[in-house]
Structure 1
Amino acid sequence: MAAAAAFSLVAVLVHWPKWHELERTGMKKWIALMATALALGLAGCGKSAAKPQLLETPDQDTQFQMGTVVTLRIYDRGKKAVLAQAFKRITTLADAITVNQKGSAVDQINAAAGKHPVRVSKDVFRLIQYAKAYSQKSNGSFDLAIGPITSMWHIGFNDERKPSQREIDAALPLVHYQDVQLDVAKRTVYLTKKGMQLDLGGIAKGFITDEVIDTFKQHGVTTAIADLGGNIYVLGHSPKGPKRDWTVGIQDPKESRGTALGTIPAANQTIVTSGIYERYMKVDGKVYMHLMNPRTGYPFDNELMGVSIITKHSVDGDALSTATFDKGLKAGMAFIEKDTNAEAIFITKSKQVYVSSGLKNKFKLVKNSGYKLANIKDVK
């Protein structure tokens, strides 16, 4: 398979432009171009050896959701109507979860900070439970209460700015996941301090990706791809042959969308990629990425340029990608190696690539990528 076809599945969406840039270039044009490019790569490389019940050319739909381009693709014959059901699920969840979305549950919780608990839907409560659990698991590397910081920087939006140190110092005491109280019996969420804010952006797309896959399965879909802009899920095996894995590309964080530095085989797995150029802003020549350090109030700034997490559940991949960025290369790899359900690929600013133990015989560098495989044991 040619490199262009191999990597179009996954990290092609790592560098999606900001919303105002999409408006400027024309959303319809973007969607049409990207849907075509993804379809060529995913279906590509000759004729399919698909089973009789699978389509050679999948039914698919592409929409702009949650600030990114979402493409869903179903290979099962006669399941085209499920696409609409899946997008309906995405819209319902996004409307409830998104910050600054009129009527969203998260906005209601934030508005009631320091005042009273807020009862939420089962879906929203389940997501917040996940987010708090990962905040605890990562010892605060991922913190669902990061809202006071992210709302000030607002990287990727028209009002993005670099806050003053005084503003950051005032907001940091509010970033404290332990002050998010959950009442399972009443299904309520309470932020104990006035000014606290939830921001579930670091885990929401993963949660919704998993819900899309559940929707597929509930409607009898066995072979599909869900692409939610940096969160990819490959359901089943490639239609090219029995039990044949998909070939998934890992985005080069320094290059344009669709430029892979390596590939991995995958089936019934999700690949979540975060990079310093995924969403960022420049101030006085310095690049600030959108992933925030809950301890400093600034974007993460270490040797890492990109992280790809491979898991069975996209919600796990989302949280782990943020947590490992915080921990850096060596501590991040140690954190992943302790998790029997996750693998990772770390890409450093010096163009070194480190893979977790479960990927050592699976990950392949693209020829002439300019990157070099390295051993974590050599890192001091």
Structure 2
Amino acid sequence: MARNTLLRTLIIVVVGLLLLALLLYGGQRKRLFRESRTSLYTLVTITVVTRSETRAREAIDAAYRELERVGKLLNFYAPDSELSRINRNAGVAAVKVSAETLAVIEKAVHAAEATKGGFDVTVGPLVRLWDFKEKKIPSREAIAAAMDLVGYRHIVVDPGASTVYLDKQGVQIDLGGIIKGYAADRAAAVLRDHGIDDGIVAVAGDIRLFGRQPDGRPWHIGIQHPRAADDDTALLATVHLDDGAISTSGDYQRYFFADGVRYHHLLNPTTGYPQDLCRSVTVIAPSAAATDAFATGIFIMGPQQGIAALERLGMDGVIVDKDGEVLMTKGIRDKVKLLDTP
């Protein structure tokens, strides 16, 4: 008898708690909460979907803290970062690094190998020669000298010892081409750890998203038109995604004209000059670290080789070639809606 009474009491308590939960949360619809801040030297926007504003703020704050942590860990300019220690010891000694730093550098080397050197985190000496603000083209001699210090094959990674060694003095690793995507991945993971099931982390043009919009629809992500006549809000297409990442690299982001030629910031590491085979490349993959790196690498490879590489790697993409023709991988065609043609 006492056992039955206890059971009835437990049932009443459970039902009561369920009713209380319904009263507290049942009437609250999921809402969008969005906040933009400067992080990693760029504009970052984090969007979450939840019923609780408190949960949203706590999760967003935690995600921004994670972005700052990643930025400090892999900072090219901070003298006490692991990356700076690797660069200071180029041609001298291997440097033991954390598992996280090792993993990011391994991702960068993989992207370099998969794009035949199109993506290269040692390209810094070339990048620093080109002044897009002053619209100056470096001399052939300066480019040749800089290229002597460029080449991802100078990076020697020893996973067993957790070390990274640059085998030539003067060679440097700059993870600027992958860090934003990697940081977006980490921030998205932190959001999920804080109970967020749907959200977007946009670190400049590198976007990591998961879940869906409040009404249950997939996220609609715009792909910028590469020839939008100075209108950076004009779209080439939209793509519907509910989980994964998307990044775009284009010749319209930083450029100048000289003698009728467009010079932009996406440099071919094997020539030292801007690559002119594409107008823009958008890559879609499970991680933003991958899309960040491969958007650049595929741009350098060019449209035909680029589409073939994406198909081989199991990634999706939208490429606008130098003449304005739009190419897509097979797996993304039913998710992309073209709004205009370049």
Which TM-score tier does this pair reach, normalised by the shorter chain?
0.7 to 0.9
SS in 2 for 1:141: coil
**C-alpha distance in structure 2 between counterparts of 1:283 and 1:142, whole Å:** 25
Distance apart, 1:175 and its partner CA: 1.7
Distance apart, 1:66 and its partner CA: 2.3
User: Which of 37, 42, 64 matches 2:38?
Assistant: 64
Which amino acid in structure 2 is aligned with residue 167 of structure 1? Answer: A
Contact 2:72–2:81, Cα closer than 8 Å, also in 1? yes
Residue 324 of structure 2: aligned partner: 351
Contact 2:280–2:321, Cα closer than 8 Å, also in 1? yes
**C-alpha distance in structure 1 between counterparts of 2:317 and 2:77, whole Å:** 32
Distance apart, 1:195 and its partner CA: 0.9
**C-alpha distance in structure 1 between counterparts of 2:162 and 2:135, whole Å:** 34
Distance apart, 1:284 and its partner CA: 5.2
**C-alpha distance in structure 1 between counterparts of 2:259 and 2:77, whole Å:** 29
**C-alpha distance in structure 1 between counterparts of 2:157 and 2:131, whole Å:** 27
Q: Which has the larger radius of gyration?
A: 2
Structure 2: tracts of 5 or more residues without a match: 1-25
Contact 1:272–1:314, Cα closer than 8 Å, also in 2? yes
Q: After the TM superposition, which segments of 4 or more aligned residues of structure 1 sit over 6 Å from their partners? A: none
User: Which of 305, 310, 320 matches 1:336?
Assistant: 310
Residue 46 of structure 1: aligned partner: none
**C-alpha distance in structure 2 between counterparts of 1:53 and 1:126, whole Å:** 41
Residue 293 of structure 1: aligned partner: 268
How is 1:156-235 mapped onto 2 (pairs within 5 angstroms)?
Answer: 161-235=136-210
User: What is the number of residues matched between the two proteins?
Assistant: 312
Deviations 1:24-45 (A, max 9, x none): xxxxxxxxxxxxxxxxxxxxxx
Residue 279 of structure 2: aligned partner: 305
Deviations 1:83-131 (A, max 9, x none): 1111111111112323223433322322221122223233222111111
Contact 1:53–1:76, Cα closer than 8 Å, also in 2? no
Residue 377 of structure 1: aligned partner: none
1:284/1:109 CA distance change after superposition, 3 Å: farther
SS in 2 for 1:294: coil
Deviations 1:147-183 (A, max 9, x none): 222233365xx68853221122122232222221122
Distance apart, 1:253 and its partner CA: 1.5
Deviations 1:46-83 (A, max 9, x none): xxxxx966532x22221112232100111123322011
Distance apart, 1:291 and its partner CA: 1.7
Structure 1: tracts of 5 or more residues without a match: 1-50, 372-380
SS in 1 for 2:195: coil
> TM-score, length-normalised on structure 1?
0.76
Distance apart, 1:365 and its partner CA: 1.6
User: Which of 82, 95, 101 matches 2:72?
Assistant: 95
Matched, 1:132 2:106: no
Which amino acid in structure 2 is aligned with residue 81 of structure 1? Answer: E
Which amino acid in structure 2 is aligned with residue 193 of structure 1? Answer: K
Residue 48 of structure 2: aligned partner: 74
Matched, 1:264 2:246: no
Matched, 1:362 2:335: yes
**C-alpha distance in structure 2 between counterparts of 1:54 and 1:225, whole Å:** 19
**C-alpha distance in structure 2 between counterparts of 1:96 and 1:188, whole Å:** 15
**C-alpha distance in structure 2 between counterparts of 1:298 and 1:164, whole Å:** 11
Greater relative CO (CA pairs within 8 A, separation 6+):
1
1:293/1:94 CA distance change after superposition, 3 Å: same
Contact 1:251–1:261, Cα closer than 8 Å, also in 2? yes
RMSD across aligned C-alpha pairs, in angstroms? 2.1
Residue 227 of structure 2: aligned partner: 254
